């Protein structure tokens, strides 16, 4: 009787392992899909020279505005 109960325990453990393995496989597929989606989006963004140039121009403009605003501030105190 004890042996039969032990076999059921092993069968249940194997069933749980199989379920876990199937779930891990599903998660792995989802991660691969996410990576492919991200790669495709990145390629589209990187592939557009106008967008890259526009982003660079906005970044340069923001940097210039920040530097100019810092230079326009009157010093306070003795420092």
Q: Tell me the mean pLDDT in the region 53-78.
A: 80
Distance CA 31, CA 26 (A): 9
Q: Is residue 8, in this structure, part of any structural domain at all? A: yes
| Residue-level pLDDT at 64 | 86
Which residue segment(s) compose the domain that 52 sits in? 2-72
Q: Is residue 77, in this structure, part of any structural domain at all? A: no
| More confident site: 77 or 65 | 65
Kindly list the distances between the CA atom of residue 76 and the CA atoms of 13, 39, 65, 73, 79, in Å, as whole numbers in the listed order. Answer: 73, 50, 21, 9, 7
Q: Is residue 43, in this structure, part of any structural domain at all? A: yes
pLDDT in tens, 7-55: 788 888 888 889 888 899 889 889 888 888 877 666 666 667 777 788 8
| Residue-level pLDDT at 8 | 83
Global confidence as pTM: 0.45
Looking at the 3D structure of the chain, how many domains does it have?
A: 1
| 2, pLDDT greater than 80 | no
Q: Is residue 78, in this structure, part of any structural domain at all? A: no
């Amino acid at each position: 009787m004890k042996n039969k109960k032990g076999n059921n325990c092993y069968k249940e453990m194997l069933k749980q392992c199989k379920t876990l393995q199937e779930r891990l496989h599903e998660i792995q597929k989802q991660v691969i899909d996410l990576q492919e989606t991200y790669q495709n989006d990145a390629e589209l963004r990187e592939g557009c020279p106008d967008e890259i140039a526009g982003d660079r121009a906005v970044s340069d403009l923001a940097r210039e505005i920040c530097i100019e605003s810092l230079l326009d501030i009157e010093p306070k105190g003795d420092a």
